[in-house]
Amino acid sequence: MYKLFDHQEKALSEIDDFYTHGGNSCLFQAPTGSGKSIVGVEFIKRMRDQNKPIYFVTHSKSLVWQFSEHLTDIGVSHGIISPGAPTLRYRIQVISAASLMSRINMIDEPWGLIFEEAHHSSTTMFTQILKKWPKAHLLGLTATPYRLSGEPLSMYEHMILSPPVKWFIDNYFLADYDYYIPQDFDTTGIHHIAGDFKASEIAERAKEDKTRVGNFVKHYEKHSKGLPGIAFGTGIEDSENIAKLFRESGYNMKSLHSKTEGNIKDLLDDAKNGKLPLIATCNLIGEGVDVKGLTAMLDGRPSESLVIQMQHWGRVLRACYAPGFDLSTVSGRRDAMIAGGKGKAQILDFSSNYLRHGLPDDERTWSLTGAIKEKAASKYKRCPSCQRPVLTFAATCPYCAYEFPKQAAAPEETPERDGELIPIGELKSADKNEVTIKIAREAHDLKSAIRIGKENGINSQGAWYIWTRVLKKSAHVGGK
């Protein structure tokens, strides 16, 4: 039996308040892996206790069965409206969006509908639902209230926002991560379809790089050897090639996609229980699929879709807690995550997606009114020494102290807007004074500051921030 965390109780309270005061359609945003489904399950349970019929709607057949399992686990009796499923007349039903649209004239009007992955919500579907069921209350759940086209999600009247990804990481509701860029991917000249790269051209460009797939194995062994993981390819052929090379290198990896032989659900179950430690895919394991043990991500699919990218990151940022710990405290969740084998996720970006989307815990602004379509310059560059993303203005890598070549005649203008200059792994305020004083007293240069920082529980970026920004010391090796 699950127990709600404070942030989930807060979300449920805000959702209930919205409908109590006459609201009709509400969108709830929370990061992948932060417990949106638990909020949905609890909301359904509370509505059932008030004898209010409610349908859970998802765009994927596999997610129909996954959410059905969530309801079964907490003892909520329900029906499934899907081809081949028996008709059970419960107040609670789980249904795919396609089945809802095809059967809307044959099923009873509910008090409310919950839409999983609600960024897929279409105005046409909402219009049809409200025309047929004008009194229905609509609740959307999504990690990414965003459309690549920039179109608004105007069918929702109100949005409830969770804390950002960084807050969930800092409080051990999500795993922290290390990010590496073993190689960049050149997308010059590749065309776009529906706002993303043309799949056939991306696949062909990836195929032209004869060393690319071999680098997947090489860098997995360097950074993530032995960790359960997932590799994203550009398509079915690419994901099959990745899995084949891993198997030839002695690893148990299978490629899961729409043409995979055998039962996909059984293979996913094998991944969830640890029998299948490594998976390769192109688009099958994305939104909503929950395999908590995945720790390493080999990102071989260049994408301009923030939605796709954040869903992919979410596969390895999910918490995996060992039993027997007090999850109501930060220290308890930290210890449970470490004991569960997930101290840090390892993200290996072979696609230059960091240039398009930044990093998983960058601050993002969500809105129902749509996004302005403009190409923003990346705030990160790749360190050629340690292969990590570094803020573009940094003269020295905070992880390995590599000194970037000085750019001749480069203007020294660094924007000083709130939130933009905060480095990866910014210090928590509770530790800041003590560690700062220790570095100020004992460090002689950036390398020793990084060493002292690590000895006192902060990462390289945090130590770099103290040395260069707080103490105003030179980032050059040996400089004070």
Q: Give the Cα separation of 381 and 92 in Å (integer).
A: 50
Mean pLDDT estimate for the chain: 85
- In whole angstroms, what is the distance from residue 348 CA to residue 183 CA? 9
Give ∠ CA 35-41-42 in degrees, rounded to 5: 95
Q: Residues 445-479, buried b or exposed e (16+ Cβ, 10 A)?
A: bbeebbebbeeeebbbbbbbbbbbeeeebebeeee
Q: Which domains are present in the chain? A: 6-162 (3.40.50.300), 170-357 (3.40.50.300), 390-470 (no CATH)
Q: Does the global pTM surpass 0.85?
A: no
Q: Inform me whether the pLDDT recorded for 102 exceeds 70.
A: yes
The stretch 25-44 carries a mean pLDDT of 91
pLDDT of residue 422: 32
**345-387: per-residue pLDDT in tens?**
999 999 999 999 999 999 998 989 875 555 567 899 999 999 9
CB atoms under 10 Å from CB of 343, counted, come to: 13
Question: Strands across the sheet with 344-349, in order?
Answer: 176-180, 344-349, 296-299, 229-232, 278-281, 253-256
45 contacts 35 by C-beta, under 8 angstroms: no
Edge-to-edge strands, sheet with 112-115: 79-81, 92-96, 54-58, 112-115, 137-142, 25-29, 158-161
DSSP 3-state assignment of 273? coil
Question: What pLDDT score was predicted for residue 153?
Answer: 86
Average pLDDT over residues 74-92: 82
Q: Which tokens is 389 given?
A: 């993303």
pLDDT per residue over 379-435, tens digit each?
999 999 999 999 999 999 999 999 999 865 444 443 433 333 333 344 444 344 678
- Residue 353's SS3 state is helix
C-alpha distances in Å from residue 60, one per residue of 66, 74, 147: 10, 22, 18
Handedness of CA 236, 237, 242, 248 (dihedral sign): positive
pLDDT tens digit string along 220-255?
999 999 999 999 999 999 999 999 999 999 999 998
Model confidence band, residue 477 (pLDDT cutoffs 50, 70, 90): low
* CA–CA distance, 181 with 203 (Å, rounded to integer): 19
State the Cα–Cα distance between residues 279 and 302, nearest whole angstrom: 18
